[in-house]
Amino acid sequence: MIDARAAVLFEAGADPALTDVVLRPPVGEEVLVRIDAVGICHTDISVAARWPARRLPMVFGHEGAGTVVATGPQAELRGGQPVVLTFASCGRCPYCVTGRPAYCESSTDHNMRGDGAGESSALRLDGHPIAGGFFGQSSLATYAIARQGNAVSIDDGLEPALAAPLGCSVQTGVGTVLNALAVRPEDTVVVFGAGAVGLSAVMGARIAGCRTIVAVDPVPQRRDLAIDLGATAAVDPSAGDVTAAVRELTGGGAHAAVDTTAVPEVLTTALTVLRPRGALALVGLGAPVAPLPVGLIMGRGLTVRGVVEGDSEPHTFIPRLVALAKAGELPLERLVTTFAFEDFDAAWSAAKTGRAIKPVLVNGS
């Protein structure tokens, strides 16, 4: 058994608290990973806030980066291998076998529901199994067990604090632009929300060579950072008519828009800034339903599509992101604020309040 520290949610509506836990050894194709760094994502915050009391205690976390320290007998990864942990998938359904694991037929079971705290759970607290397996990892801990399918081998040379967000937020933002929207250099792109995912989308559009990239966010510092990371303009939505401003900046409307806010009013605005046959990608978690201007969508031939994890096949895309980061094309250090693992409370608060764009816990042990 392996002693570890983990951020455990004990009470519905509360915040997780650092607690001593124990992990069983890996079995089958599982790998035990020493978590060297783990990002805190908006999904951790939002899911923890509504997690049912009957399924507590629970450990969240789905942006782990670290080093393989033990493997199950069927695992091909080796000890000492640096890995980024990402979303889980079954590996067998039609979407998985055709390179679209983000849309796995059992994605909800593998990622959002955890492992149910049965006897097969990787985590124990005071001798009793507790729920884990969030996104196949529950990596808000000093050690985590993942499956080989969601442990992506990476080269040395990228520090764990920068590698961790590649597992979700950066993969989602960059992938939405490069994979899902497949923008071209002549395209214009507008991104609503300049958090970790939105700023990653801005960087993706810059990597694609897009001639006009507009970021929309009410926070001045985030608008400034968007400009630094490649946006050609930034719009304050509280300062006036966003649609008019974006249409002017893009010469008549954007070819593509990315919404990271999931705010119904923002979704409507995002559609109004598109030129005919433009496309809006929805990547934010928020309002479960929103009214859409059907007449506008039909009249302009617009496309509205959801995007999960940037349409990524992570074993291909995450190494590409690592290469881009090492080449200086993804300045991830501009997004990341590091916290010692024992300062979990401060990091969680920074994520909840938005004081940090991407809080990352670093395990120095």
Write the DSSP assignment of 191-205 as a string of letters: EE--SHHHHHHHHHH
Is 294 a residue whose pLDDT tops 80?
A: yes
DSSP state of 132: -
Question: What are the boundaries of each domain within the chain?
Answer: 2-153+335-362, 173-307
Q: What is the pLDDT of residue 365?
A: 60
d(CA 31, CA 25): 9
3-state secondary structure (DSSP) of residue 256 = strand
Average pLDDT of every residue of the chain: 95
**Rounded mean pLDDT of 49-67?**
95
Quote the percentage of the chain above a pLDDT of 90.
92
The pLDDT score that the predictor gives to residue 246 is: 97
Q: Which two tokens stand for residue 265?
A: 């009013």
DSSP characters over 206-222? HHTT-SEEEEE-S-HHH
Is the bond preceding 57 in cis, omega lying within 30 degrees of 0? Answer: yes
Same fold, 2-153+335-362 and 173-307: no
Averaged pLDDT for residues 151-174: 96
* pLDDT tens readout for residues 310-361: 999 999 999 999 999 999 999 999 999 999 999 999 999 999 999 999 999 9
The answer to whether 57 and 9 have CB atoms below 8 angstroms apart is yes
d(CA 41, CA 120): 26
Taken in order 283, 287, 288, 293, is the CA torsion positive or negative? negative
Domain 173-307 sits in CATH 3.40.50.720: yes
Question: How high is the pLDDT of residue 1?
Answer: 87
At 361 the pLDDT is 98
3-state SS, residue 1: coil
Give residues with Cβ within 8 angstroms of 245, minimum separation 6: 235
- 19, with CB counted inside 10 A (0-12, 13-18, 19+), is middle
Could you tell me if residue 226 is left (phi over 0), alpha (psi between -120 and 50 degrees) or otherwise beta?
Answer: alpha
Q: What is the pLDDT of residue 199?
A: 98
Place of tokens 């929207």: 181
**What value does the mean pLDDT take over residues 70-75?**
96
Taking residues 119-142, report their average pLDDT: 94
The encoded tokens of residue 37 equal 């760094």
114 has a pLDDT exceeding 90 = no
Q: What is the pLDDT of residue 158?
A: 94
What pLDDT is stored for residue 159 in this prediction?
A: 96
pTM, 2 dp: 0.96
Q: Angle CA(189)–CA(192)–CA(194) in degrees, nearest 5?
A: 105
Q: With a cut of 90, say whether residue 287 has pLDDT above it.
A: no
- Chain mean position to CA 104: 17
d(CA 174, CA 202): 8
Name residues whose C-beta falls within 8 Å of residue 34's C-beta, 6 or more positions apart in sequence: 66, 67, 69, 142, 143, 363
Q: How far apart are CA 295 and CA 272, in angstroms?
A: 11
Q: Is 94 in a helix, a strand, or coil?
A: helix
Taking the chain, what is the end-to-end CA distance rounded to the nearest angstrom? 18
Strand order in the sheet with 274-282: 233-235, 212-216, 188-192, 254-259, 274-282, 303-306
Please name the residue that has the structure tokens 């792109």.
189
Residue 256 neighbours by CB under 8 Å, 6+ apart: 177, 181, 183, 187, 188, 189, 190, 274, 278, 279, 280, 281
- Regarding the domain delimited by 2-153+335-362, which CATH topology (the fold level of the hierarchy) does it fall under? Quinone Oxidoreductase; Chain A, domain 1 (3.90.180)
pLDDT at 164: 98
